């Protein structure tokens, strides 16, 4: 299978475009990675370590797919996602990458 990017995916099905359906956890994982990297000067800032952390964290969380047009509903719903759990999962991913870097 050839590797591809999001721009290579045809999101159109029967005249409907599905590109506005996203895994809402991506937003929270990215925010947690930014916070953790700002708090820790000793983390490797290379793209491989950050990408591996991102992928590991997302794979450790159940996906939460939403329509982008509905994001405000989810942001206002405090019970939708446990941000402490997300940060814990990201910290675990950071440690796995730190202990086994791919560079």
DSSP letters, 10-47, are: --EETTEE-TTEEETHHHHHHHHHHHHHHH-TTS--SH
In the predicted structure, residue 1 carries a pLDDT above the cut 80: no
Whether the Cβ atoms of residue 83 and residue 25 lie closer than 8 Å to each other? no
In the predicted structure, residue 39 carries a pLDDT above the cut 60: yes
Q: Give the Cα separation of 1 and 21 in Å (integer).
A: 24
In the predicted structure, residue 54 carries a pLDDT above the cut 90: yes
How confident is the model over 56-93, as pLDDT tens digits?
999 999 998 888 877 777 777 766 678 889 999 999 99
Whether the Cβ atoms of residue 37 and residue 43 lie closer than 8 Å to each other? yes
Q: What is the dihedral of CA 7, 12, 13, 16, to 10 degrees?
A: 140
């Amino acid at each position: 299978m050839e590797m591809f990017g999001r721009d290579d995916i045809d999101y159109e099905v029967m005249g409907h475009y599905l590109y506005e359906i996203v895994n809402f956890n991506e937003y929270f994982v990215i925010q947690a990675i930014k916070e953790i990297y700002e708090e820790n000067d000793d983390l490797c800032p290379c793209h491989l370590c950050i990408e591996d952390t991102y992928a590991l964290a997302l794979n450790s969380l159940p996906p939460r797919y939403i329509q982008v047009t509905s994001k405000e509903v989810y942001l206002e719903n405090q019970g939708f996602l446990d941000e402490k759990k997300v940060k814990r999962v990201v910290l675990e991913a950071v440690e796995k990458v730190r202990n086994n870097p791919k560079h």
